């Protein structure tokens, strides 16, 4: 059963515009969330994280928003750049229930120049 | 510094053969994870090592899968009697814990490039 879901397999955005990638989770015990970026033939690379005590974390062009009541998080990229084109995975974990990180199936972002 | 490395990068094998996949984590990282990603799927947790503690094997899909971590560093994932459904990208990640005050301990995993396994 998929505990972390990314319902949009792909997204296309014009360069300079905002990219919004969404992620939903089902387990209310999750308290730590991450976004990873993956280029073809490479492993995922860490992008940004957020703890459940926060509802927003910002790092340069990347901002992650967490809505615990809706069990929803989103990644905003603004302005989007062609180099942002990649597959984005969200992940969640809760040390209180084990060592696993649960990953979504990914959203492929294409930024059009 | 050096990142996580995995070998081989690609492996083609025949059904029924055994394979060994290797992971060299980042020096000093106490935790090591194995995941696999099948086509069109997310990352599936397989096994977790933390220091000298007993590994968390809860994600291993069958007893054909095993892993060990020698000396708290290099890890080997072994798949015995491979099946076609074992074809996937096998990813290794290492991590360390950072104490972040009110947020508690935070952990970021650093992934290797993966081993692409194809079972014919």
Domain that holds residue B43: 5-115
The candidate with the shortest Cα–Cα distance to A8, out of A83, A111, A109, is A109
Instruction: Provide the CATH number for the domain around residue A23.
Output: 2.60.40.10
Contact B18, B76 (CB under 8 A): no
Q: Report if residue B63 sits inside a domain.
A: yes
Contact A101, A89 (CB under 8 A): no
- C-alpha B59/C-alpha B80 separation (Å) is 16
Angle at A66 between CA A62 and CA A71, to 5 degrees: 140
Total of domains in chain B: 1
Q: Report if residue B120 sits inside a domain.
A: no
Q: Report if residue B11 sits inside a domain.
A: yes
Domain that holds residue A33: 4-112
Chain A residue numbers with beta carbons less than 8 Å from the beta carbon of B45 are 100-102
Residues 56-95 of chain A with CB under 8 A from chain B are 89, 91, 93, 95
Contact A36, A13 (CB under 8 A): no
Q: How many residues does chain B have?
A: 120
Report pLDDT digits (tens) over B96-116. 877 666 656 677 889 999 999
Total of domains in chain A: 1
- The verdict on a CB contact (< 8 Å) between A89 and B43 is yes
DSSP-derived letter for residue B56 is: B
Q: Would you state the pLDDT for residue B102? A: 62
Instruction: Provide the CATH number for the domain around residue B95.
Output: 2.60.40.10
- The verdict on a CB contact (< 8 Å) between A98 and B33 is no
Q: Would you state the pLDDT for residue B108? A: 81
* β-strands A72-77, A19-25 pairing: antiparallel
- The verdict on a CB contact (< 8 Å) between A43 and B107 is no
Q: What's the rounded mean pLDDT across residues B53-64?
A: 91
Distance from CA of A68 to the nearest CA of B (A): 15
Tell me if chain A has a CB within 8 Å of the CB of B50: yes
């Amino acid at each position: 059963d998929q505990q972390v879901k990314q319902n949009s397999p792909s997204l296309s955005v014009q360069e300079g515009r905002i990219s919004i990638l969404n992620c939903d989770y089902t387990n209310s015990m999750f308290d730590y969330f991450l976004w990873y970026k993956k280029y073809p033939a490479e492993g995922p690379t860490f992008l940004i994280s957020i703890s459940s005590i926060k509802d927003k974390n910002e790092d340069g062009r990347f901002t992650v928003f967490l809505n615990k009541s809706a069990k929803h998080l989103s990644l905003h990229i603004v302005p989007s750049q062609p180099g942002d084109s990649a597959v984005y995975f969200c992940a969640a974990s809760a040390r209180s229930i084990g060592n696993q990180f649960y990953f979504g199936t990914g959203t492929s972002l294409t930024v059009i120049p | 510094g050096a990142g996580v490395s995995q070998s081989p990068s690609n492996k083609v094998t025949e059904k029924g053969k055994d394979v060994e996949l290797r992971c060299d984590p980042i020096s000093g990282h106490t935790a090591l994870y194995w995941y696999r990603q099948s086509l069109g799927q997310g990352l599936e947790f397989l096994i977790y090592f933390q220091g000298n503690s007993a590994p968390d094997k809860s994600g291993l899909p069958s007893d054909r899968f095993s892993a060990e971590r020698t000396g708290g560093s290099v890890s080997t994932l072994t798949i015995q009697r491979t099946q076609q459904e074992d074809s996937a990208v096998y990813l290794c990640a290492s991590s360390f814990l950072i104490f972040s005050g009110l947020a508690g301990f935070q952990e970021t995993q650093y992934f290797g490039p993966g081993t692409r396994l194809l079972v014919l």
